[in-house]
Amino acid sequence: MPNPQNQSEHYDLCIIGAGIGGLNALYVASQYLKPDQRIALVDRRDRVGGMWVDTYDYVRLHQPHPCFTTGDVKWTLGKKPSHLASKTEVLDHFQHCVNESRKGVGVTELLGHEMVEIEETDDVVRVTCRTNDRTLATITADHVINAAALDVDALQPLSLSSSQVRSVSPETCDVRTGEIASDNNPVWVIGSGKTGMDTAHTLITHQPGREVNLVAGTGSFFMSRDRMFPSGTKRWLGGVRPNYVLTEMADRFDGTNEVDVLNWMRDTYGTGPIPHAQHFFLGALSEGESTRIRDGLGQVVMDHLVDVVDHGEHGVQIHMRKGTPIDIAPGSWIVNCTSHFVSRARTEAPYVSAGGRVVTIGFKGMFGFTSFGGYFLTHLLYAGKLREVPLYEADGNAILSHSVPATVLGSLALTQYNLGLAFDHLPAKVFKDFGLDFDRLYPAPRRLVGQLKFLAGHKRKRERYRHALDTLGERFDVHVGPVIKTS
């Protein structure tokens, strides 16, 4: 057991993780705690923002920025709602959210502190952290919210056999600047998800005419941002509410038919540069972006990269999982844009500990999104309802190892199931102040239609969602079901 070298400080709440989940937990806690009470906000990074601190510099939000916040904290950019915020703008807003929470409660930012251990006793929780200088620090708190369970890492360059290519990742190489921008050698983008589309779009936009190729796997498609988030008068007369589409996907999923549901989504509301793409990871893309990427790409290879090897005296080949090797030019750039959300061994605590003092927001996906979990689980904690509400959980990491599409559809069904339960146990104001609502930019009358449908159907649909989730668990032999009681 660690032996901390300093005297511990006591807080009313310790939040581990300063990403979107932890900051939503902070916002909610600031609405319940008193100004003289104290919250410790702990993160291993040197500033708040979670994975946004480490991600590539040319990243932009895929949804309009007002829908990405904590609680109901408003942005201060002064730009149109359709603006896609940059990394710097997102990080500045996150700090603004912390400052807004600080108006209601004492907040101490303990940055550069990596959590080592959480130990719960009868009357307190002890959190041991390792600081940047490798010393150990102890925090004690009445409650702990662990919102760092996903702990998404920055992408690293792929380890490749060839000595004649340059292997980079978006986090280690800004494709707009430096050596990659100063030559005209071909670029191979590996991965067709959000990061791959951002990278391809940036290269094609900043260096028109350059050879940009894509190794797309089975391909990714996206929500059409033009249809989901229209601007101007179209918000009144056109568009399709995102919540309607996501709910419809959850309603159609029976635990086995993710391919059919995703094909319906792609053909009805989707977009993307790759025809018949199979993967959907809740990203959005405009029709203009999709067209620019499609028109600007050279080769699109529907396969998975295994290695890049030197072939003969001067040749280089990409070796694929299924297809024949592909000859590429020496000096090519290989940009790793594979998924940040890889399946890896994780051991997670139950969402609420035996003593009720530790809440974990992690890959079990209590609400499908860590931001939703940070918001609603913290409300349930301080409303005294956390151990009363029969929430469902799913071992999302285990399902991910079997099927990405099933993981996505399962998370949507899980979200709908648990949101309905939360609605039955929390005041209506909790939902009114929920700034992460994807329908937020639509006029009130159109939002009201969706709210009334939710009210009318959330109890009736509960059994359908539960059946789909149970089927998913049985199908892959993984834990899906009522939250495990540890007391």
pLDDT at 91: 98
CA 460 to chain centre: 29
Question: In whole angstroms, what is the distance from residue 77 CA to residue 92 CA?
Answer: 10
| C-beta atoms surrounding 180 within 10 Å | 18
Owner of token pair 């907040």 = 107
pLDDT at 363: 63
Distances in whole angstroms, Cα of residue 37 to Cα of each of 12, 26, 140, 356: 6, 13, 14, 20
Q: Give φ, ψ of 388 to 5 degrees.
A: -100, -30
pLDDT at 313: 75
Question: In whole angstroms, what is the distance from residue 370 CA to residue 378 CA?
Answer: 12
Does residue 172 contact residue 183 with C-beta atoms inside 8 Å?
A: no
pLDDT at 4: 45
Q: Which string of DSSP letters, residue by residue, matches 307-333?
A: EEEEETTTEEEEEESSS--EEE-TT-E
CATH of 166-336, one of 3.30.1540.20, 2.60.40.420, 3.50.50.60, 3.40.50.300: 3.50.50.60
Long-range CB contacts (< 8 A, 24+ apart) of 290-293? 290/222, 292/201, 292/204, 292/205, 293/197, 293/200, 293/201, 293/204
Question: In whole angstroms, what is the distance from residue 375 CA to residue 373 CA?
Answer: 5
Residues 414-437 as b or e (16 or more Cβ within 10 Å = b): bbbbbbbbbbebbeeebbebbbbb
Nearest to 301, CA basis, from 279, 285, 323, 334: 323
Same topology for domains 9-153+343-383+426-441 and 166-336, yes or no?
Answer: yes
Q: What is the CA radius of gyration of the chain?
A: 23
Six-digit token pair at 247? 């709910």
Regarding the domain with residue range 9-153+343-383+426-441, which homologous superfamily does it belong to in the CATH classification? FAD/NAD(P)-binding domain (3.50.50.60)
Angle at 353 between CA 351 and CA 357, to 5 degrees: 110
Question: In whole angstroms, what is the distance from residue 38 CA to residue 24 CA?
Answer: 16
Chain segment 53-108, per-residue pLDDT in tens = 999 999 999 999 999 999 999 999 999 999 999 999 999 999 999 999 999 999 99
Nearest to 308, CA basis, from 153, 186, 204, 218: 186
**Weakly modelled stretches of the chain, pLDDT under 70:** 1-7, 149-151, 340-349, 363-366, 484-487
Structural domain spans, the chain: 9-153+343-383+426-441, 166-336
Owner of token pair 């209506």 = 428
pLDDT at 305: 96
